[in-house]
């Protein structure tokens, strides 16, 4: 619940007698306590005299850790509970849920169904011998750029009560699992939970999953399968909970999915990480005129159906559309043509036209997959 751009705030808690050793780092707790102050040392680590400074702390009177049953401490009114009961009786509940996932994104029904299952989660099982089987579902979206993978991740991050969104390049192993910090005053080491620990009981969305370094990606193997993070650093040996679902998005090796190569050649991940994902979707940007038309129609409906601040919106006329098309032709389409009309053998556009004519003539005269006999004398 840290505001955007703010650093997380800390406050010292003091536990004594039977309150000690009740919780491990990463556990979400509700604390009841007394707000007190104490006088810090006369001189801190930087050598500044702090004689008049009082530091606040919380003297703990009670700890409540039954957050599991409340799913992040959420409480519902009687009206909301009644509405949930009505929803549960609907026969088409599954369809209702998946159609509510990112409705502004066209198609991708199976992906939306998988995300619905990921948000609801399965049921974890604890066997008689104490072994835990995870119930959380991990999903990997792998495919072409521009197929709204990141938008789906952003949507999940917004609607999930507990969620952490991170990008692959800016995520290190310590940032995802846990890092060891040192207290500036007592010089003691303490643990700082990473993204997988903070999202305990929720979802971790990892974008640009293929851009992560291998050594950083290996750090989340244990978190995805065993749902724990084992730490042995600076004399601290402990196990943290990370009961999270992982929703990751990645691009293939070549940037786009290469149809001429097998899925194994397109996916640049080790088998160990792929086995942790329960569902892997390959999202392709199919070159289909009918599908592109329906997507364009859907986008138009999304824009025209926006009723908020309708009176303030400058209305699009034919001149606006023509100007937009002209700018697109002058920028993107011109850049595409540059490759044909410059560089190498092709010196100018006239030469390019000649080469195209020769190519067309060759195609006309020589059938595709034709067999020719060449005699070498």
Taking the chain (377 residues) in runs of 10, the rounded mean pLDDT of each run is 72 88 77 88 62 84 69 72 87 85 81 87 84 85 82 86 82 80 77 80 86 80 82 81 86 78 76 83 80 81 65 74 87 69 53 79 73 58
Give the per-residue pLDDT at 43.
Answer: 62
* Residue among 274, 273, 278 at smallest CA distance from 217: 273
Count H helices, E strands: the chain?
14, 14
Does the model's pTM come out above 0.75?
no
Give the per-residue pLDDT at 59.
Answer: 93
CA 115, 152, 73: angle at the middle one, nearest 5? 65
* Token pair belonging to 161: 């009560």
Angstrom distance (rounded) from CA 26 to CA 40: 27
Give the per-residue pLDDT at 214.
Answer: 79
Cα dihedral 282→288→292→295 (10° resolution)? -50
Give the per-residue pLDDT at 34.
Answer: 94
Angstrom distance (rounded) from CA 163 to CA 173: 18
Domains (range + CATH), the chain: 12-64 (no CATH), 78-283 (3.40.50.300), 326-377 (no CATH)
Strands 189-193 and 236-241: unpaired
* Token pair belonging to 126: 């604890």
Torsion region of 354: left, alpha or beta (phi above 0 gives left; psi -120 to 50 gives alpha)? alpha
Give the per-residue pLDDT at 70.
Answer: 46
Give the per-residue pLDDT at 80.
Answer: 86
Give the per-residue pLDDT at 61.
Answer: 92
Give the per-residue pLDDT at 312.
Answer: 56
Share in percent of the chain as helix, strand, coil (round to 5): 35, 20, 45
């Amino acid at each position: 619940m840290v505001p955007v751009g703010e650093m997380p705030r800390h406050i010292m808690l003091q536990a004594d007698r039977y309150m000690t050793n009740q919780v491990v780092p990463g556990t979400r707790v509700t604390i009841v306590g007394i707000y007190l102050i104490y006088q810090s040392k006369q001189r801190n680590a930087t050598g500044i005299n702090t004689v008049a400074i009082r530091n606040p702390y919380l003297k703990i009177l009670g700890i409540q850790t039954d957050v599991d049953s409340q799913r992040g401490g959420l409480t519902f009114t009687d009206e909301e509970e009644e509405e949930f009961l009505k929803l549960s009786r609907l026969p088409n509940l599954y369809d209702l849920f998946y159609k509510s996932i990112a409705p502004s994104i066209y198609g991708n029904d199976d992906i939306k169904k998988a995300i619905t299952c990921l948000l609801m989660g399965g049921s974890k099982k604890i066997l008689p011998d104490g072994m835990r089987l995870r119930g959380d579902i991990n999903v990997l979206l792998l495919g072409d750029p521009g197929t709204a993978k990141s938008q789906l991740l952003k949507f999940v991050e917004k609607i999930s009560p507990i969620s952490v969104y991170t990008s692959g390049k800016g995520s290190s192993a310590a940032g995802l699992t846990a890092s060891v910090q040192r207290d500036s005053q007592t010089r003691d080491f303490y643990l700082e939970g990473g993204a997988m620990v903070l999202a305990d009981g929720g979802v971790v969305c990892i974008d640009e999953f293929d851009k992560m370094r291998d050594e950083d990606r290996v750090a989340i193997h244990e978190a995805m399968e065993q749902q724990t993070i084992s730490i042995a650093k600076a004399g601290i040996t402990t196990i943290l909970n990370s009961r999270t679902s992982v929703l990751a998005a990645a691009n293939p090796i070549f940037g786009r999915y290469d149809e001429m190569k097998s899925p194994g050649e397109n996916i640049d991940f080790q088998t160990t990480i792929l086995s942790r994902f329960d569902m892997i979707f390959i999202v392709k940007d199919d070159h289909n005129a009918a599908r592109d038309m329906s997507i364009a129609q859907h986008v138009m409906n999304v824009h025209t159906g926006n009723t908020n601040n309708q009176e303030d919106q400058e209305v699009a006329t034919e001149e606006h559309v023509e100007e937009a098309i002209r700018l697109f032709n002058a920028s993107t389409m011109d850049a595409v043509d540059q490759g044909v009309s410059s560089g190498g053998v092709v010196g100018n556009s006239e030469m390019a036209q000649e080469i195209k004519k020769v190519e067309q003539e060759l195609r006309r005269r020589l059938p595709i997959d034709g067999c020719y006999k060449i005699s070498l004398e």
